[in-house]
């Protein structure tokens, strides 16, 4: 178990630029989640994959956000035309449970700063 890996750890970008984050889940975990966390708040659900299928998207996920998991392994989260309000920690998590009672395993996150 090598854990969930997220890259990069930090990203500073100018407003209007596009950014892409990568998440490598724990191998054999078929479920992958993206969350966003702002200072002083708990993580907020963005989207969820089961294998390569994106099964659920939050209303927080505007049309500037897109996530993919093309082969059911790693996932990418892209933000187009970034805004200062996008500054946050983006967390990826994985699990292999079908019954819903297994915990999520989180990566250390990608901290995005939009200037």
Chain residues that interact with another protein, rule: CB under 8 A: 4, 6, 31, 33, 40-45, 48, 50, 55-56, 58, 91, 93, 100-101, 103-109, 111
Q: Which residues contact 95 (CB under 8 A, 6 or more apart)?
A: 29, 31, 33, 102, 103, 104, 105
Q: Which residues contact 28 (CB under 8 A, 6 or more apart)?
A: 96
CB of 41 to another protein, least distance (A): 6
CB of 29 to another protein, least distance (A): 14
| Nearer of residues 52 and 104 to another protein, judged by Cβ | 104
CB of 33 to another protein, least distance (A): 7
| Nearer of residues 17 and 62 to another protein, judged by Cβ | 62
| Nearer of residues 8 and 16 to another protein, judged by Cβ | 8
Helix-then-strand count for the chain, H and E: 0, 11
Distance between CA 63 and CA 9 in Å, rounded? 24
| Nearer of residues 49 and 79 to another protein, judged by Cβ | 49
Nearest CA-CA partner of 3 in 27, 31, 36, 32: 27
């Amino acid at each position: 178990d090598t854990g969930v890996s997220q890259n990069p750890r930090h990203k500073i970008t100018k407003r209007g630029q596009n950014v892409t984050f990568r998440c490598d889940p724990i191998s054999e975990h078929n479920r992958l989640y993206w969350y966003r966390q702002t200072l002083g708040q708990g993580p907020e659900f963005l989207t969820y994959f089961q294998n390569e299928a994106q099964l659920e998207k939050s209303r927080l996920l505007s049309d500037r956000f897109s996530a993919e998991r093309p082969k059911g392994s790693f996932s990418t989260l892209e933000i187009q035309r970034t805004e200062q309000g996008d500054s946050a920690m983006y967390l990826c998590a994985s699990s292999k449970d079908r019954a819903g009672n297994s915990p999520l395993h989180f990566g250390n996150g990608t901290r995005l700063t939009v200037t």
